[in-house]
Amino acid sequence: MQVMVVTQQRLRIVVVGLSLALLGLFVAHNWTAAKASITLLSGVSWMTVATCSLLVLGMFCCAAGAYVFLALRPIRFTLALVIEFAANAVNKLIPSGLGGLGVHGVFLRKQKHSVAQATAIAGLNNLLGAMVHCLLLLCVIVFARSAFEGFHLGITNNKRWILPGIGTGAVVIVLFFLRQMTAFRRFVKKVITALQTIKQRPLAVMATSFCLLSIPLLQTGVLALLAQHLAIELSVVQLFVALSTGILLGAVIPTPGGLGGVEAGIVATCGGFGIDLPHAMAIALAFRALTYWAPLLPGFMALMWVQQRKLI
């Protein structure tokens, strides 16, 4: 068992190293475009940054509200909001959302939930988040197919690193999950338990789903504001598709907070919709600056506060 854990840790290190190496090669190969994207970002107005920051705060509020509705014991919204910032900071240290999941589980235990209840609630929250996002994406694919007209990922010039990167990541991900079939079986059991919980608490699940549905919509709003300022001609639907691709890559590539994967997904999708590389990189970098890097400072402050209060 110990040998398997060590092997999985080594494999994770290899995956992270390979992903970051591909990202570094891509940036180095397209250094001129990267510098051009920085120049574009220097012109972003403070009003745009402030408005986007309010939308990011709204995302944290929705995430906190989801746990308030789903918890079996009363939880103050302000306390849940602080926990969200703390969980977000921890999630930047531990890959694939596992850190944030652990913080929520420990917090729920401190709020008089049993281990089984805390695990079920945290798991159900993550499951519902994935379900509502996939449902929204499915609606886009079915009812807004015209938005995909002309979409093309070519392996020419600066874009030739995109598909090899995605292909390599996919191969490594398959190998990674083949080594974790036991963990996958445990996940399936948690899904079954979560579905049983949905039947028992339909109103709480509906309210939670509404909160979780608002998060990708607010994220798309951030992209839309940035696109408008950067003169990127993409519809809201196309921006949502770019966001979804980024989230998918960020979720499956085990880097802290999806670092590299989210950016690659957004850049690749924007490029597929005909946006030149400097603008695609600019919107990806600006989005991640607002949603990944900016919340880090308040997140670590929140983490220290909740640790001092022994809330986690």
Pairwise CA distance, residues 132 & 260, whole Å: 24
Pairwise CA distance, residues 215 & 208, whole Å: 11
Identify the pLDDT of residue 132: 93
Identify the pLDDT of residue 228: 94
Pairwise CA distance, residues 132 & 209, whole Å: 7
- The answer to whether the pTM exceeds 0.75 is yes
The residue ranges of the chain whose pLDDT is under 50 are 1-6, 96-98, 155-159
Identify the pLDDT of residue 143: 87
pLDDT tens digit sequence for 160-215 = 555 555 555 555 555 555 555 555 566 666 666 656 665 677 888 899 999 999 99
What Cα–Cα distance (Å) separates residue 15 from each residue in 170, 176, 226, 248? Answer: 11, 9, 31, 16
Identify the pLDDT of residue 216: 96
> Which tokens is 13 given?
């290190």
Residues linked to residue 256 through DSSP beta bridges, in sequence order? 95
What Cα–Cα distance (Å) separates residue 262 from each residue in 191, 195, 228, 237? Answer: 25, 29, 20, 17
Pairwise CA distance, residues 157 & 269, whole Å: 16
Identify the pLDDT of residue 310: 86
